[in-house]
Chains A and B, each alone.
Chain A
Amino acid sequence: MRNPIGKKVVDIKPSGIRKFFDIVQETEGAISLGVGEPDFDTPWHIRDEGIYSLEKGRTFYTSNSGLKELRQEVSNYINRTQGVTYDPIKEIFITVGGSEAIDLALRAMVDEGDEVLIPQPSYVSYEPCAILADAVPVIIELKEENQFRLTAQEVLDKVTDKTKILVLPFPNNPTGAVMEKEDLEAIAKVVIEKDLYVISDEIYSELTYSGKHVSIVSLPGMKERTILINGFSKAYAMTGWRLGYACGPKEIMEQMVKIHQFAIMCAPTTSQYAAVEALKNGDDDVAMMREQYNHRRRYLLNEFKRIGLTCFEPFGAFYVFPSIKQFGMTSDEFCTRLLKEEKLAVVPGNAFGDCGEGYIRISYAYSLENLKAAMERLERFIERLK
């Protein structure tokens, strides 16, 4: 028989998280701080709208681009948070999670051999998606001394004639880093100068703890060069609903919708009805969750200081990214031993790119009680290492 598998896919290495997941699952009594989704339930009024839409029999496809009402709400939302106006008909469409939008944006925009700049550590899907789109991923290694922010110089160092796209993953998973307006202005200047496009993954935009999130689309000249990707998973605790959106220039959206229409048809209808309610009446829920995440964030940073773990202060998402370099182990060794000896699961930093080596990702999408129990275990482990 012929080999059934295509070479391009085989060559993509599986997510480092998957490997670790299997080990954790076999460990009985393990506490995990390895989850990349909120611990809150979707607020009831949002779930209720989903249920209501089912009762009313709203069980058909929506248009490829998504419910008009939802696109209008997305447009209103971006307008009130970033002061930028997107046409809900031509410049916004609804996707199956932010992750679909990442995939589509890359597939719609690159030709074979185009280079895509991907800052790491970052979410695991940019690099494989770029490869599947026949592009060449070029990694920018973010540095702790810059609080894991992207600098204009780092972009300039990697730009070539073939560079077409810069992925901008902030607020960042796994580091928790955010980009301030000044940081973005410097990046925007390079992007315009070098005639690049930006894919800005802002899925954690509602979870910032030092002032409001600034999107690069709010800077002059950037709306026409940016695909803004966001969604409902993190802000409204709606991961399982699989709903996100992309906003950008109409010519690019048209092509993205074309792929979407053939591959997906439309995002889940129930989720879309629920999401309308989220955008209309969900601000208080987001504020409540943000407040609780912030308490946990402060608690963890305080605990790290107490037990002697170095960590820069992250102001976004729900992750902290402490350094474990002082213990003379790789991230994999550290995490495996922590799991074996104390039954505490955290994710090795190198799962998010080679430059995440020497760090671990700890999620604080857990109740304070959970975090306290986990910190006891972490403290015992670190005491033994010292």
Chain B
Amino acid sequence: MSTRQEILNIIEKNSRIDVHELSVLLGAEEIVVANELKAMEEEGIICGYHTMIDWSKTDIEKVNALIEVKVTPQRGLGFDSIAERIYKYPEVTSVYLMSGGFDLMVILEGKTLQEVAGFVSNKLSTLDTVLSTATHFILKKYKDHGTILAKKYEDTREIITP
């Protein structure tokens, strides 16, 4: 496995790890690791160092919704231009072009149900090229970005074994 891939495997799960520790885990020089990180940031491979938060455990209200959007692609621009019009809204957290029964998957974060509903009816549906939308609210997150949110790991092994 390449150093790059190994770095990515580690920081995808733990972006707070520092260069020194990374270099220990990989058995590589610190300078090599630092250069790789910098290069991958510049190349846009590493796009950010976000934190995974289970908002449902805080007292801050958040509502997430998945919206299936059917659109009319535009001559010469395909889906890119309509996707851009949608992803520029700050409340939109992700936009994917999909295969199958609809075109764009829009993931939205709002404070309340009303706020999300309002966004869909006032902003999204009224775009010229949008043909239809179907909104699904997320009720509970069990697993997100490869991390199980529902329960904590518990070591059930015997304490000492040969």
Contacts and interface: CB of A to CB of B under 8 A. Distances in A.
B29 to A, nearest CB: 13
A35 interface: yes
Nearest to B27: A298
Contacts of A21: 158-160
Contact of A37 (B1, B24, B161): B161
Interface string A296-336: 00110010000000000000000000000000000000000
Nearest to A33: B160
Contacts of B160: 17, 20-21, 24, 32, 34-35, 345, 347
B143 to A, nearest CB: 12
A281 B152 CA distance: 27
Interface in B107-162: 155, 157-162
Contacts of B161: 17, 34-37
A291 interface: yes
Given A35-B157, A291-B9, A299 B162 contact: no
Contacts of B10: 295
A270 to B, nearest CB: 19
A15 interface: yes
Contact of A345 (B24, B159, B162): B159
A291 B1 CA distance: 9
Interface string A76-87: 000000000000
A238 to B, nearest CB: 13
Contacts of B18: none
Nearest to A361: B162
Interface in A317-363: 345, 347, 351
A351 B162 contact: yes
Contacts of A287: 1
A39 interface: yes
A124 interface: yes
A123 B162 contact: yes
B7 to A, nearest CB: 11
A3 interface: no
B6 interface: yes
B162 A17 contact: yes
B25 interface: yes
A219 interface: no
Given A291-B1, A291-B6, A291-B9, A298 B159 contact: no
A146 interface: no
Nearest to B158: A35
Interface in B12-69: 21, 24-27
A351 B10 CA distance: 35
Interface string A216-242: 000000000000000000000000000
A17 B162 CA distance: 7
A30 interface: yes
A39 B162 contact: no
B26 A124 contact: no
B9 A37 contact: no
Contacts of B6: 291
A17 B158 CA distance: 12
Contacts of A291: 1, 6, 9
Contact of A30 (B9, B21, B27, B159): B159
Interface string A1-41: 00000000000000101001100110000101011110100
Nearest to B21: A299
Contacts of B25: 295, 298-299, 368
- With most chain A CB atoms within 10 A of its CB, the pick from B25, B26, B162 is B162
B1 A34 contact: no
A25 B159 contact: yes
A123 B161 CA distance: 11
Nearest to A366: B155
A299 B1 contact: no
A14 to B, nearest CB: 12
Nearest to A23: B160
Contact of B162 (A25, A30, A124, A368): A124
A39 B24 contact: no
7 contacts: A20-B160, A21-B160, A24-B159, A34-B160, A39-B157, A295-B10, A295-B25
Closest 8 CB pairs of A and B: A34-B160, A295-B25, A21-B160, A36-B161, A32-B159, A302-B24, A124-B162, A17-B162
Interface of B: 1, 6, 9-10, 21, 24-27, 155, 157-162
Interface of A: 15, 17, 20-21, 24-25, 30, 32, 34-37, 39, 123-125, 173, 287, 291, 295, 298-299, 302, 345, 347, 351, 368
Given A173-B162, A299-B25, A345-B159, 17 more contacts: A17-B162, A21-B158, A21-B159, A30-B159, A32-B160, A34-B159, A35-B158, A35-B159, A123-B162, A287-B1, A291-B9, A295-B10, A295-B26, A298-B25, A299-B24, A345-B160, A368-B25
